[in-house]
């Protein structure tokens, strides 16, 4: 207990340092941003105390004695509260009348076909492509005042490749060139992976045709998968949207690719496909009712198959403070084996309380495919919010009760008891073993 209290007091001392915005300065030439968090959590397994300090950036401005402009960015890390601090280089920038340079000890994103990332469902970045993350480390970007829009990138391979073919002995990194030629951005380059090269060029942009402004994404390249059988890689994607009349939106799309899967470092949104698609969405409102219908008829060249999905057929009735919503979908209306889904939801909201009740069926002809979700939240006091959820599935059910009490700015006390865990979107829908916790947390940015 004495050790626990010592750590707790130390962390609270550090909290007090960061309690105000920019509580201290390191001099006029230093700027920094970051965050601090502290938590004291009690669970069925005991009491746990933790604290973290993250410095996102710290920069030092240098006044050069020549016309070369210089700057550097450093990262800070610490081993324990009030323990040793380590200063590490993150980047260096400088420029001359002939070129500018940005060097980073980390990776730089240039293009989804080369310096790949993994994206979440909402489009946010989750991580780097696993192979790119492992194979490469620091990188450098060059810009040229004489050629506006041109950028050159060299990303260093974490392990220099030696062997055959002979060129891998002197070039085992990724070299990219990026050039903006309105309305397109061009990115081309090459890298060596597995002993053989991959090279390619991507053009991406949009063209304003008046009634429609299609987005165009074209890639052409080659991968020398073996010394005797190079593989051609290409892809064309065109998509757009137009509204010829009020409420009607047409979203045509065309995609034809081959062997994009051969690009080792591609992002998660770079996928092969060979199809033409015509999205149709119609929405109309007769207050308080809003009706929406959406379908995306699609012809797949690879399988010579035509599908007609019902993406949404819904109705929403909004009579404040109550909203009713119902929607049905079907993967393919032309396939008799595909079923209609049904989702219904009712919401009640006012400044003091909100209640949601939802029920859905994977197959409206099979009652046993149901899922029921009940959620409520109430502002009991200005600083106190209580909430709870109940979920029923055909073979199991779950529940939870929660509270949040705001003690002060950035400091809150929370509690949880139940068998529903939060999903990736923060909704309590995942049925799990019974657990409980009470937590005192502090978080702030500086």
> Does residue 200 contact residue 115 with C-beta atoms inside 8 Å?
no
H-assigned helices in 215-290 = none
Q: Using one digit for the tens of pLDDT, what is the confidence trace for 379-429? A: 999 999 999 999 999 999 999 999 999 988 888 999 999 999 998 888 999
The predicted model scores a pTM of 0.76
- Of the ranges 77-86, 149-158, 179-188, which one carries the lowest mean pLDDT score? 77-86
Residue 183, domain member (yes or no): no
Q: Using one digit for the tens of pLDDT, what is the confidence trace for 298-357? A: 999 989 999 999 999 999 999 999 999 999 999 999 999 999 999 999 999 998 999 999
Tally the domains of the chain.
1
Q: Which two tokens stand for residue 423?
A: 């999903």
pLDDT at 191 over 80: yes
* 74 — pLDDT class (breaks 50, 70, 90): low
Q: Using one digit for the tens of pLDDT, what is the confidence trace for 88-113? A: 677 788 888 888 898 888 899 999 99
pLDDT at 11 over 80: no
Residue 349, domain member (yes or no): yes
* 43 — pLDDT class (breaks 50, 70, 90): confident
* 219 — pLDDT class (breaks 50, 70, 90): very high
Residue 93, domain member (yes or no): no
Residue 5, domain member (yes or no): no
Residue 387, domain member (yes or no): yes
Residue 25, domain member (yes or no): no
Residue 367, domain member (yes or no): yes
Residue 423, domain member (yes or no): yes
Residue 435 domain boundaries: 339-446
Picking from 330, 329, 366, 365, the residue whose alpha carbon sits closest to that of residue 344 is 329
β-bridge mates for residue 404, sequence order? 385, 414
- For β-strands 384-392 and 370-381, DSSP reports them as antiparallel
Q: Using one digit for the tens of pLDDT, what is the confidence trace for 255-293? A: 999 999 999 999 999 999 999 999 999 999 998 999 999
């Amino acid at each position: 207990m004495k050790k626990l209290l010592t750590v707790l007091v130390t962390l609270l001392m550090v909290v007090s340092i960061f309690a105000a915005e920019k509580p201290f300065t390191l001099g006029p030439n230093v700027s920094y941003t970051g965050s601090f968090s502290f938590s004291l959590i009690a669970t069925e397994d005991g009491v746990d105390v933790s604290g973290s300090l993250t410095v996102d950036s710290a920069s030092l401005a240098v006044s050069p004695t020549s016309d070369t402009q210089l700057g550097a960015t450093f990262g800070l890390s610490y081993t324990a509260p009030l323990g040793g601090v380590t200063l590490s280089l993150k980047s260096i920038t400088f420029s001359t009348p002939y070129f500018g340079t940005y060097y980073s000890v980390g990776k730089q994103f240039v293009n989804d076909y080369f310096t790949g990332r993994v994206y979440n469902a909402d489009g946010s970045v989750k991580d780097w492509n696993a192979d790119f993350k492992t194979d490469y480390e620091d990188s450098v970007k060059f810009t040229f005042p004489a050629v506006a829009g041109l950028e050159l990138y060299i990303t260093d391979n974490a392990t220099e490749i030696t062997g055959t073919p002979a060129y891998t002995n002197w070039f085992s990194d990724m070299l990219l060139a990026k050039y903006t030629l309105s309305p397109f951005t061009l990115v081309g380059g090459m890298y060596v992976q597995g002993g053989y090269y991959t090279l390619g060029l991507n053009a991406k942009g949009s063209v304003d045709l008046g009634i429609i402004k299609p987005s165009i994404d074209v890639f052409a390249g080659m991968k020398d998968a073996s010394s005797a059988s190079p593989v051609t890689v290409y892809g064309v994607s065109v998509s757009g949207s137009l509204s010829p009349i009020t409420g009607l939106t047409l979203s045509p799309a065309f995609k034809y690719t081959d062997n994009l899967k051969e690009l080792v470092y591609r992002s998660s949104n770079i996928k092969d496909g060979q199809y033409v698609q015509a999205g149709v969405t119609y929405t109309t409102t007769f207050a308080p009712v809003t009706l929406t219908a959406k379908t995306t008829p699609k012809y797949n060249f690879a399988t010579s198959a035509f599908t007609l999905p019902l993406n949404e057929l819904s109705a929403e009735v909004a009579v404040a403070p109550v909203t009713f919503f119902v929607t049905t979908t079907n993967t393919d209306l032309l396939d008799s084996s595909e079923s209609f889904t049904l989702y219904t939801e009712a919401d009640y909201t006012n400044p003091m309380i909100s209640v949601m009740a939802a029920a859905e069926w994977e197959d409206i002809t099979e009652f046993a495919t149901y899922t029921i979700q009940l959620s409520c939240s109430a502002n009991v006091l200005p600083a106190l919010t209580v909430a709870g959820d109940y979920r029923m599935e055909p073979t199991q059910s779950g529940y939870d009760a929660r509270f949040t009490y705001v003690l002060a700015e950035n400091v809150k006390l929370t509690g949880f008891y139940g068998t529903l865990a939060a999903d990736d979107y923060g909704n309590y829908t995942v049925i799990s073993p019974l657990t409980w916790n009470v937590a005192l947390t502090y978080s702030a940015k500086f």
